[in-house]
Amino acid sequence: MTVSRRDFLSGVTWVGAGAVFGGFRLGLSAAAAQTTPLRRSIGELSLDDPIISTYRDFVRIMKEKSGDFLNWDTVAEVHFDYCPHGNWYFLPWHRAYLAMYEQLCRDLTGNAEFALPYWDWTADRQIPRAFSDPIWQESSNPLFEPTRTISPNASLPDDMVGPEVIDFILAETEFELFGSTRPSEQDSLDESWIGNGTGVQGEMEANPHNRIHCAIGGRMCQLISPRDPIFLLHHANIDRLWAVWNSLGNSNSDDPLWTEMTFTDNFIDSTANRYSAQVRDVFDPESLGYTYGVETKTIALSAPARRERFNQLISGAELAPVAGRAPKRVSVPVNGAAEPLNPLDIVVGISADVVVAASELPQTGGTGAVRELDISATRLEKPSIIAFIRQIDAERHVDTEVRIFLNCDYLSQDVPTSDPHFVTTIGFFGGDHKGHGGPTKIAPSVAVDLTRTIERLARNKDLDTDKLVVQLLPTTRPGVPLDQAGWVRAAEVEVVVF
């Protein structure tokens, strides 16, 4: 039986509607409340580990409840109806959504100490074995999803999940570059802003998040992606990276337009009651009943000048010097489209002193960079150069990805991602961009940090100091032939220095 969203909403009495939750700890046993359940890497667990067994039982129970209002498909539709992408509500909404599933699993299986495992795709590049085998103990495996297109033996590439990518993401100190920016022109706490995709995706959302969704394929590349049981483990790792980022001393935004936003009646408990959550409710994983075993530092790195410069840029305010340096911006409209065999060059005029200042930065990135990097000396005191690529869209975006290069005069499909001119690869997620809490199609915007690439090119004396050339090269997601790539267009490229 298929239950429509209209039937689902009309057939349930929302006893808890309007209530704001204060965490999921009330559902825990006394023992579990004293020892917060630990989310562990699935790579550490055997196929019959109690954690995997509990999750397998939960998915089976939910799939067998197809005639009930609370079942696997209708809970996944919460994501279709409400989830934000492309703005700063992306991380907190999904944290609350995962906690909802975690508590449902505890309630329906009776395992009050259950914690979702996460898929650490940097350490374990292939889809976990528990999800790739169609049969488990002579019965169908509820964790297997037949629509996936990824091969069980396929490994996710370095430019998607490699240590250098993750280290560089974690080295960012500004929350809105780490976790995606506020919607453009947001001026209130009206909940229509939650589904407004006019913010700018940071690298974590645009690269590993989006690209893994579509690398797995099938339902995972659609807005009903939670119907694939691997969804929760993928997003648990995104959530873990947020917790790790906080543990490094980085602070979340303190803007009330973020902290005070309420996701009203977005979530559902095991008695089919709706409940709400505010962003500020989800800062501490332990208050939601789980931990990753990392300590959340309450004292953030001191970067008021950098944050003030960034806030000027993101708000569109008139630029003024902060701590002796003014942020800069150069905007260039984009004409034409990039093709797989004809990359698009976008020339951005930028002064030599900016490039020289960036080239004097210590080297960043590389394996272990977060552990070894003096963040305060690099990201807080020295300038960052960010390219905001606005309203970027692609033909056949399910299969198309975009490699971004800088000042590469020999660019072609043969140039590897290990080339010093390479910046990053971004992907698209969300089907036709409809849903995600909003009714309209919105081409996403992405923020790409050019600083690391400029450092490399400057050290190699391979950078023109009077201009930067941002280059878009369409390609395909792993495992898809190049002839399936489509064109890529963008409305504008804005390079900012702060």
**Residues in contact with 154: Cβ distance below 8 Å, sequence separation at least 6, in sequence order:** 126, 127, 215, 478, 479
Q: Of 255, 288, 321, at which residue does a domain stop?
A: 288
Q: What is the CA radius of gyration of the chain?
A: 22
φ, ψ of residue 483 to 5 degrees: the values are -70, -5
Residue 248 inside a domain? The answer is yes
Q: Could you tell me if 196 and 344 lie in one domain?
A: no
Pairing mode of beta strands 400-406, 467-476: antiparallel
Q: Could you tell me if 278 and 316 lie in one domain?
A: no
Total of domains in the chain: 2
Tokens representing residue 233 in the block: 């483990």
DSSP calls for 420-466: TTEEEEEE--STTS-BTTBSS----EEEEE-HHHHHHHHHTT---TT
Residue 295 inside a domain? The answer is no
- What is the residue-level pLDDT of the chain in tens, covering all 498 positions? 333 333 333 333 333 334 444 443 334 434 345 689 999 999 999 999 999 999 999 999 999 987 788 999 999 999 999 999 999 999 999 999 999 999 999 999 999 999 999 999 999 999 999 999 999 999 999 999 999 999 999 999 999 999 999 999 999 989 999 999 999 999 999 999 999 989 999 999 999 999 999 999 999 998 899 999 999 999 999 999 999 999 998 999 999 999 999 999 999 999 999 999 999 999 999 999 999 999 765 444 446 777 787 887 787 777 777 666 767 888 999 999 999 999 999 999 887 666 666 656 554 444 333 333 333 344 556 778 999 999 999 998 889 999 999 999 999 999 999 999 999 999 998 654 444 555 456 789 999 999 999 989 988 888 876 789 999 999 999 989 999 999 999 999 999 888
SS3 at position 306: helix
- The domain containing residue 344 runs over which residues? 304-497
Q: Could you tell me if 251 and 315 lie in one domain?
A: no
Distance of CA 32 to the CA centre of its chain: 30
Q: Could you tell me if 121 and 217 lie in one domain?
A: yes
User: What is the value of pTM for the model shown?
Assistant: 0.89
Q: Of 257, 288, 319, at which residue does a domain stop?
A: 288
CATH number at residue 313: 2.60.120
Q: Could you tell me if 21 and 66 lie in one domain?
A: yes
Residue 296 inside a domain? The answer is no
